Amino acid sequence: MKRVSLDMIAKEVKLSKTTVSMVLNGKGDLHKINPDTQALILSVAKRLNFRPNMIARNLSTGSSMTLALIVPRITDTYYGLIAESIEQISLKLGYQVLLGTTHEDPVKEKELLLTFEAQQVDGILIASTQHNLEDIKAISNAGLPIVLFDRHYPGEDLPYVVVDNYNGAKKLVKHLIETGRKNIGYVGLNLDLTAIKDRQRGFRNAIEESKRDSQNLKIVDHQNAKLDCHKAVEELISDHGVDGIVFETHYLALYGIARIREMGVDYPDTISIVSFGDHEVFSIFRPEVTALVQPVEQIAENAIDMLMKQIQNKPNSLLKSQEVVEPSMEIRNT
């Protein structure tokens, strides 16, 4: 089937190609084109199922009306919800979203950054591996708006929206102490990320401030997280006698709960479980699981807002902003 062109529409409505282009690009009123003429052009374009040539449109408008979203993995519930929120907000603003996943691979991340830059997206939102600072700075300095979320580069003048990971971890420990737990353990990941380090630092400091044993911290290999998490839970319960465990992510909590059940340990009577990050099944489990909730919609809205401010203020690429949002506690019966 032959692609419908501007020439075809212009011939049918008996008007110039320039006039048709102005109307289809939403500039009819700006150029004082008669409303009835605009309606006719739009009606014919719809009937012929006209699809604009995006490359040509990009060259004429200087905008692709697309945004790039880069996340570690879309199968992670948290990033899936972030992606959904960002897409919904972007569509309302007239933007399409292109998605890329890194699987925590810095090389893959760099490839995606360069690819999206070459595709002339209007802006990039990224949960970075934190190993491509120079590439991200180069893109930002070249005038392509970019906003970091969930992870950032401390001390750098780059816009970001992140959760207060340090105080969030302290909140989880405080909750366990307030519910009477005496010996608290922690299961975390060996990822070299600021968010992860801040959670572990928050745990250590909260334990030290409470005058408890700070050695019950188990770090597992993120590439073998399930099996390593099982082993860590076994050691914390059998060797260290913990009566409360803080899980660094929601999926570690899921792995840990599975192993606790296999071990036949009674929870929450014998041991309490809390998770940094909520999951829909935590309110379905019996018993339910207490979790720290990361405000997905707020993160998405604020990140998009920062990006739009940069886009709308081109060529001023120095318009930056940095924000730390507070997570909330969803206290359930564990």
**HEC letters along the chain:** CCCCCHHHHHHHHCCCHHHHHHHHCCCCCCCCCCHHHHHHHHHHHHHCCCCCCHHHHHHHHCCCCEEEEEECCCCCHHHHHHHHHHHHHHHHCCCEEEEEECCCCHHHHHHHHHHHHHCCCCEEEECCCCCCHHHHHHHHHCCCCEEEECCCCCCCCCCEEEECHHHHHHHHHHHHHHCCCCCEEEEEECCCCHHHHHHHHHHHHHHHHCCCCCCCEEEECHHHHHHHHHHHHHHHHHHCCCCEEEECCHHHHHHHHHHHHHCCCCCCCCCEEEEECCCHHHHCCCCCCEEEECCHHHHHHHHHHHHHHHHHCCCCCCCCCEEEECCEEECCCC
At the fourth CATH level, the homologous superfamily of domain 165-293 is: Response regulator (3.40.50.2300)
Residues of the chain where predicted confidence (pLDDT) is lower than 50: 1, 55, 59, 317
What is the C-alpha separation between 23 and 35, in angstroms, rounded? 10
Q: Is 277 left (phi over 0), alpha (psi -120 to 50) or beta?
A: left
Chain-centroid distance, C-alpha 303: 9
Predicted pLDDT at 317: 46
Position 274: which residue type?
V
The two domains 6-52 and 62-163+297-327 share their CATH topology (first three levels equal): no
CATH 1.10.260 fits 6-52, yes or no: yes
Predicted pLDDT at 294: 95
- If you count them, how many residues does the chain have? 334
Predicted pLDDT at 188: 97
> Helices 296-312 and 77-92, interaxial angle, to 10°?
40
What class does CATH assign to 62-163+297-327?
alpha beta
Domain range list for the chain:
6-52, 62-163+297-327, 165-293
What is the C-alpha separation between 75 and 73, in angstroms, rounded? 5
Predicted pLDDT at 238: 92
b/e map 169-182, b = 16+ CB within 10 Å: bbbbbebbbebebe
- pTM confidence score: 0.78
Predicted pLDDT at 315: 53
Predicted pLDDT at 54: 53
